[in-house]
Chain A
Amino acid sequence: MNIFRLFGDLSHLAAIIILLLKIWKSRSCAGISGKSQILFAIVFTTRYLDLLTSFISLYNTSMKMIYIGCSYATVYLIYAKFRATYDGNHDSFRVEFLIVPVGGLAVLINHDFSLLEILWTFSIYLESVAILPQLFMISKTGEAETITTHYLFCQGLYRALYLINWIWRFYFEGFFDMIAIVAGVVQTILYCDFFYLYVTKVLKGKKLSLPA
């Protein structure tokens, strides 16, 4: 464990908690892409099946349980409890265009052709594009609530910190996982446009609105 990975995990945890609290406190999921949240729940489910097979550490196990629990709770709030506030018309990204290619790629390019490893690889590839429905929804509505932008910033920052963690681990431990690194670079690049808007607008107290 190094400081970059620890802060990456804490940033990821913050993002998940911010979103869950935002929906719970405001009793509304307006502006939130339910499709992205379903993809994240799939990402955690397929990645953390090793909860059943191997124990790494208390930290590892507890964080995985928290991620899975919160992501399913978020999906439940969006599609069940606060369903009336779900903006389905703007959450129209075709996720099958993500899941099918990612599934195919996971079968073709992986470290080991075993079920758990292919599911882990699928989860890594899926996570890199899972935010697309949310970014697409913001481009369609032309704006995002400030709390949603903080959620997105933490979500994007987490994998950016993981990139630094991988540089650290390669240099100090000689460890690198090309699949996770390439997917992590793609994932972080997808946030660049948002990062620019976040820094130039939200951090200056303005609302995030896109030229519609």
Chain B
Amino acid sequence: ADEPAAHDEL
């Protein structure tokens, strides 16, 4: 699984 482009977590 790739890392997130934009971090969607707080």
Contact = CB atoms under 8 A, between A and B. Distances in A.
A111 interface: yes
Interface stretch (A27-35, A69-77, A134-142, A169-177): A169-177
Contacts, number: 29
A143 interface: no
Interface of A: 5, 9, 12, 47, 50, 54, 56, 60, 63-64, 67, 111, 120, 162, 165, 170, 174-180
Contacts of B9: 5, 162, 165, 180
Interface string B1-10: 1011011111
B3 A56 contact: no
A177 B3 contact: yes
A122 B4 CA distance: 16
B7 A170 contact: no
Q: What is the predominant secondary structure among interface residues of chain A facing chain B?
A: helix
B2 to A, nearest CB: 9
Contact of B6 (A50, A165, A180): A50
B6 A54 contact: yes
B8 A60 contact: yes
A111 B3 contact: yes
A199 to B, nearest CB: 26
Contact of A174 (B1, B6, B8, B10): B1
B3 to A, nearest CB: 4
B9 to A, nearest CB: 7
Contacts of B10: 9, 12, 60, 63-64, 67
A123 B4 CA distance: 16
B6 A175 contact: no
A204 B7 CA distance: 40
Given A54-B6, A56-B6, A120-B7, 10 more contacts: A47-B7, A50-B6, A50-B7, A56-B8, A111-B3, A162-B9, A165-B9, A175-B1, A176-B1, A177-B4
